[in-house]
Each structure stands twice: as C-alpha cells, then as structure tokens.
Chains A and B, each alone.
Chain A
C-alpha cells in the first residue's frame, strides 16, 4: 500500500545569496517558511516542484520538504529543515539574525 501523502513545501537556495527560500502560492520566493504554499497531494506537489525548479535564474536545488501545519502556518518536520529555517547554532548568523534585523 502506498504511504499516505504528507504535507510539503517547495524549498531551495537563492542563486545570488545562497540563502534558504520557500515557494509561495503566488509564485514568489519567500525567506519565511510560514509564507510557503502548503502542498497537500502528490500531483500538485510535483507540479509545483517542477514550476519552482524551472526558475533556474533565481533558485538552486529546489526540492520538497515535509512540513506540519500549525497556527503559524507550515513548520519543519525534520531537524535539518529546522536548521535551514534558523541558521547555525554556534553563531547568531543566517535567518535568525536576518529576521531580527527586519523586525
């Protein structure tokens, strides 16, 4: 029996800066996973991944990452995606610092 589909988002790295980005429902790339479009079935997920991957002038290495959907929108399931969403643990660099700077 095929495993049930779990919710996913399309994520990648930005071509110029290399930082982590997420595809939104209105076809832009966000720095925040909370703004990512949640994909709830396999066909949509694959179509959205293909769409994201095709934007080679903007993104590198697009793939589908598992999420759980909570009050604040999609959040990572795996700890690797937690680190991608946050930044390294040895310095306050990366997304955690960018978010603080922009708030």
Chain B
C-alpha cells in the first residue's frame, strides 16, 4: 500500500502546524468562530450535538496494522475508547476536546493519516471497492487510481472552494461494490473491445434530497487522459455550479439543469485546453504509485484445516458461509468482519477490537485491513488454513457475528444521537431491527437483504439504495420514519420507491417485519432474493402488507 514520501510528510507536518496555530488563535480570541469554522472544517473538525467530532480519512478504505493501532490509540487517549466507521470509509471520533485535536492530528501523521478535506466544499476522501486487489472478479486494482486522485485533489488550489462538496468513487470490478453511480464522479476501470485498459466515467450521481443515478459522460477514457479529464469536469462544475442555493449546488443538479450533452461539450472544451498542460508526469506518478500496491506474496498451502473446522464446528461454518468472499488467489479468502453485532451500534469498534483486528492483519493478513462503506472491517488476504484461528480470535473480541449481507448488517448514519443536521435517530432503529430479526432467527432464511437507515434527507445512510431504506424525519416535532423499497447500490443502481406514509419510532420495527414476512410468503423459492421478488412483484403486495395489516390492527384495537 501507499507510504508517504518526504514531500507528503513535510506537507502534512506544515498543515498540522498551521492548524495548531489556528486553534490557539481561536482560543485566545484572535479568531472569531466565523473565521475559524472554515479552517476547522478543512481539517475535519465538526461541532455536533454534544461535542466536537473529528473525521479522519481512510483513503479508499485501506489501512495497515500500524495505522489501525494508531486509530485505537486516538480513541483511547483522546476519546471514549471507540471509533465510528462511516459510509465514506472514514472514522469519526465523537468526543474530542478542541485543545487535543492538534495532538490527535500529529499522532495520525506519524502513521500517514490525516483529516484534510473530510469536510467543506472540497474534494472529499476518495473511496473504492473494499475488496480491491483481492477479489476474484476484478479487472484491475482501483487503489492506485484512487491514490492518484487523492494526491491531485489534496490542497488543489482551484478546488478549495467548490460550490459544494465533491465525492469520487473508483471501482476496478464490473460488480460495483463502491456505489460509483451515486457519486459526483464515478470511475470504472474497464477494457474496450480491443482489450485495452481505460475508464468509464460517470458524472452527476448522488443521494441526498434529490437522488440521482450517475450518467456516463465518457464511455471510454484512455488511461493517460484520466487526470486532465477529471480536472476538466471539476473545473466546469466549479465555474457553472450554482452557489445561490445550497440545495442545488451539487454537480448532479448542474448536470441535470445544463443537460448531459451540453455539460459534456463544456467538459470536452475544457479538457482540450488542459490536456497539453499534463506533460505525462501524472502517468509517471501513477506508475510509481502502482509499485506501492504490488500484490503480496501469496503462499501455496493445503486448506485441510479449514475444511476440517467446517465439518467440526457449525458456528464456524455459519460464519464462513456469509462472511467470506472469493479471493483471486487459490487457497485464499476475503474475510469481512461484521461491526454489526445484533443490538450494537453499526460501524463502531472499541480500541481493543481495533487492536485485535490489527494483530490479525499483521499475523495472518499480509498487514492489510479495509474499511467498507457498509461499515465493516475486511481482512482482504487470508489463507484459508488460518481461518479457524482468526475466527477464534474474533469470537474472543466479540467480532464474530455471522451476518454479512443479511438484514442485520445495517448501514446507519449517526443520526440524532450525534449529528447536528439529523432530523431523527438512526442508531436505535438499527439496533432494534437487528435484535428483532435475531430473536426471530429469521435472517438466514431471509437471505441477502440490504437495509440502510438515514437520520435526515442528506442520506449519509444511503437509504435510497437500500433494498429496504428508512429515512428518519421530524414530523411536527415527532420522529417519523419513511420506508423505501427496491433501491440498489450496485452496477444496476436504482433509487428506492417510497411506500407511503411514514411510521412512528415505536412502529418502524413492526413495519419492517411485515415487509419481510410478506417477502417470505411471496417469494417463488429461497433462491429468489428480496430484491428479485420486489422487481418481479412491484410495490403493491408489500404496500398491502405494510398498510392493510396496520389498518386491521388499528381497527382491532379500537
């Protein structure tokens, strides 16, 4: 993985020193809050409901064990002993004191991490497929491209005051695990008819109050044109994107209002101007970065121990059946460690758990960890013979929940338990739904089902692309939860449709259970997933289950 050179280290040290001085000037009164706020946001520091929150970028979700240990240290030393992994492959600390933040940033810099551009109207953390470099279905590892974009966008002088925030996602696999179609720019590594590598570029995707699926602006971009083309898109957006209305300032609105063809013409014209300025240094840099991502030396060993444990231990087998994914190297597996224990806060890990994960990565996993946008941790390169030992260690650390891809593997934003923008809580809703399906012992029977919860219209919990989405709102001073069905975050990205009126806080778990029970009755066979059944049947039978039965129940009660 990428390690910082002297330039990177010096840049980060300088930025951290600047921020330390800015914090001092805020505390001594030389800076007002209005002056300080944009400076702290540039460095990932928010002020939320109960405290400050520091958002640290985990570029394209990749960490080594030393970095994970340092994240654990921050949680223990300056926070309350845990961190929250987010849907944008970041980690958030919910309780730092203002005076401590410069020390936290210095501690992060020791392991090549930072919080730069994790907020503000800038290019944010570049996300990528969390199975990058490991998964069997991949064309190419997307992380070198993501790292190139990270370097280009970090402190890019033209793009520090964009009309609004700007998010990139990169995938190297035709099976899109990075939700590229819901990003401002999605980059898909592909091959053309001649077998040459290049990129399909999507623009104008996004969730939030106006959800839109990204549109193809270039179906095949040659590798050497990547950065100038990205720069052309962001440059055009920077110039014509709306600044009069925050809610219309994202590039999805720019593309929608301008029209894709006109927007493309402007981008192509800008690209023609910019291209000559890119002398090829960027491609040299990309080659160098690719060297950092050379695959580990996989070993050739028998997997008998794995097969034997599967036979002997049903709990291990149940875990292996849902938490492992196919690795491209023979005898290897990708392990997803669920941070969704039933009843726990989705995405949270304690310092001790982070250290266990770091130890496992160091001992068994070629020193690599990933954070997924689905708020889980991944050990991307594990030899199957090591899985019994890993499973045992995860159990010890309360990390062996066997629910990846099931209904309790819920994405949830922090919601009104922490976030100043939230209109309702998300976390307790996720906790209760997960516990309900654990009690019912239904989720393995239900099979693959992505449930995603957002605590406000900004959709950090990706509810629009959940097979079942829940949106928490404030309706006349009371929490109210709308349900959407049929959303999909993959290469077939689809925005979910609203079922109808929302449900109260104490009704939403029952409502979700009614939908799931309806699916179990309606499916043709267990091979037909919830999403397949929804696509076959449409909204009506689910709507009937949701509202008719609720109506009946109310009539009974009356």
Contact = CB atoms under 8 A, between A and B. Distances in A.
B33 A60 contact: yes
A93 B80 contact: yes
Contacts of B345: 90-91
Contacts, number: 72
B47 A13 contact: yes
Interface string B16-34: 0000000000110100110
B29 A78 contact: no
B417 interface: yes
B106 interface: no
Contacts of A56: 29, 32-33
Given A15-B27, A90-B431, 18 more contacts: A16-B99, A18-B47, A18-B48, A18-B52, A20-B49, A20-B50, A56-B29, A61-B47, A78-B477, A79-B477, A83-B49, A83-B416, A89-B417, A90-B345, A90-B417, A91-B345, A93-B94, A94-B50
A16 B97 CA distance: 6
Given A79-B478, A90-B345, A18 B32 contact: no
Contacts of B418: 88
| Residue among A18, A79, A95 with the highest chain B CB neighbour number at 10 A | A18
A88 B50 CA distance: 8
B427 A90 contact: yes
A56 B94 CA distance: 23
Nearest to B431: A90
B79 to A, nearest CB: 10
A57 interface: yes
Interface of B: 26-27, 29, 32-33, 47-52, 80, 94-99, 345, 416-418, 425, 427-428, 431, 474, 477-479
Nearest to B428: A89
Contacts of A87: 50
A33 B94 CA distance: 22
B98 A17 contact: yes
A77 interface: yes
Contact of B47 (A57, A60, A88, A90): A60
Interface residues of A, number: 25
Interface string A54-79: 00110011000000000000000111
A80 interface: yes
B80 to A, nearest CB: 6
A93 B95 contact: yes
B425 A89 contact: yes
Nearest to A94: B50
A19 interface: yes
30 contacts: A13-B47, A16-B27, A17-B51, A18-B48, A18-B51, A19-B50, A20-B49, A20-B50, A56-B29, A60-B33, A61-B33, A61-B47, A77-B477, A78-B477, A79-B416, A79-B474, A79-B478, A79-B479, A80-B49, A83-B417, A83-B425, A88-B94, A88-B418, A89-B425, A90-B417, A90-B431, A91-B80, A93-B50, A93-B94, A94-B50
Interface centre among B27, B418, B474 (most CB of A within 10 A): B418
9 closest residue pairs by CB, A with B: A88-B417, A18-B52, A18-B51, A94-B50, A90-B427, A90-B345, A57-B29, A89-B428, A16-B98
Interface in A78-103: 78-80, 83-84, 87-91, 93-95
